[in-house]
Amino acid sequence: MQLPDPRARVQSVLDSSAPRLYPPFFRAVFSGMDAERAHHVGFAGIRAAERTGASRALRATMAPDLGLARTVMGLRFPSPFGLAAGFDKTGVGTTALAELGFGHIEVGTITAQAQPGNPAPRLFRLPADRALVNRMGFNNDGAAAVAPRLAATRRTLQERFGAVRPVLGVNIGKTKVVPLEGAAEDYRTSTRLLAPHADYLAVNVSSPNTPGLRQLQEISALEPILAAVREEADRVVADRRVPLTVKIAPDLADEDVRAVAALAERIGLDGVIATNTTISREGLTTPAAEVEALGAGGLSGAPLKERSTEVLAVLRAALPSATALVSVGGVTTADDVAARLDAGADLVQGYTAFLYEGPFWAGRVNAGLARRMRGR
């Protein structure tokens, strides 16, 4: 008796009209579990699939169509759709995530010093809104511990995927105990350790979960940080230029977004990532009392769709086409990704929908983009 080809099963799952298998699994297994624990359990499953060879056997089916590849910031991305920072904070499973079809994976946020983050519970689901609230607080192992993992990751990606491999982004933030006036040197330390292993760097000054961090989006504070990171990256990586981006908040006023754009153009920044999580709680379906009971934190997911798209439009109008725009916030479907690309994004990232859509999410988005590309 011939067993069914697992690749055919996966191909049927990637069909947008096929019955969805993951949502009932999520409701049965994860919905009653603490959100952070569910994340660790799910991520462990993805890594186990890599170790056993299960995900590798399906790589050809999950991989993006060759026609989706594009060059952005001098890097070749196999798909315009990637995974935002926050899922793999310390680089422990990036190669496993690459098997799922993401065109790039942004590791982090990583700080110069190891830190535990904020007390748990610190991650909460809002299923009615397809959203999350988090106040993780940059929990990570520190740049020195993560650096060798990233070095091994780049080697493995090259061996598995060849020239057009998933791109490795590295997102860096400020260590909580470092005062704001020491931020530039703190980011410089992370850059020194991590830039040699990054395809591009993302400077995170927009998380609401590190006290005072968002003050660093002010131009007078942001410019010396970006200058320090650029200088250090150029110093420690002599054989190539590591593209540099900055990640901004959706809560900036439009005039402040334009000020960031002007700075990016003036100093020759390679790209802007828009947007991070929001402190707003407007327009949610979840009862206000339930949301308030969760406490402080950044909101991500579907509710960010409108503002993230607005910020993208402001940036695209203000920036030259040579400055890359990475749009993130409220992205779920291939149509969402295509709409951001049509609005001027060069790349698109998702994160929150991954928790609700499951491991075939990137493959399904890529398949939808390929169908659109072929006009059907």
Is 42 flagged in the annotation as binding?
no
Work out the average pLDDT over 163-181.
Answer: 94
Quote the pLDDT of residue 30.
Answer: 73
- Tell the burial category of 164 from Cβ atoms under 10 Å away from its Cβ (0-12, 13-18, 19+): middle
Is 305 flagged in the annotation as binding?
no
Distance CA 6, CA 4 (A): 6
Quote the pLDDT of residue 364.
Answer: 93
Identify the residue with better confidence: 256 or 375: 256
Q: In percent, how much of the chain has pLDDT > 70?
A: 92
Is 118 flagged in the annotation as binding?
no
Query: What's the whole-model pTM score?
Result: 0.92
Helices 305-318 and 254-267: angle between axes, nearest 10 degrees: 40
Q: What is the pLDDT of residues 197-248, one digit of tens each?
A: 999 999 998 777 677 767 777 878 889 999 999 999 999 999 999 999 999 9
Identify the residue with better confidence: 53 or 85: 85
Least confident of 50-54, 313-317, 344-348: 50-54
Structure tokens given for 211: 């006290």
Contact between 94 and 135 (Cβ < 8 Å): no
DSSP 324: E
Quote the pLDDT of residue 241.
Answer: 96
Structure tokens given for 212: 């005072």
Structure tokens given for 107: 């590791």
Is 86 flagged in the annotation as binding?
yes
Quote the pLDDT of residue 28.
Answer: 65
Omega of the bond leading into 109 within 30 degrees of 0 (cis): yes
Set out the domains of the chain in order of their start, with CATH numbers.
26-373 (3.20.20.70)
Going by their DSSP bridges, the two strands 167-172 and 200-204 should be labelled as parallel
Q: What is the pLDDT of residues 120-134, one digit of tens each?
A: 999 999 999 999 999
Quote the pLDDT of residue 1.
Answer: 43
Catalytic residues: 207
Q: Which residue has the tokens 């462990």?
A: 44
Q: How many CA atoms lie within 13 A of 62 on its CB side?
A: 22
Quote the pLDDT of residue 57.
Answer: 76
Is 329 flagged in the annotation as binding?
no
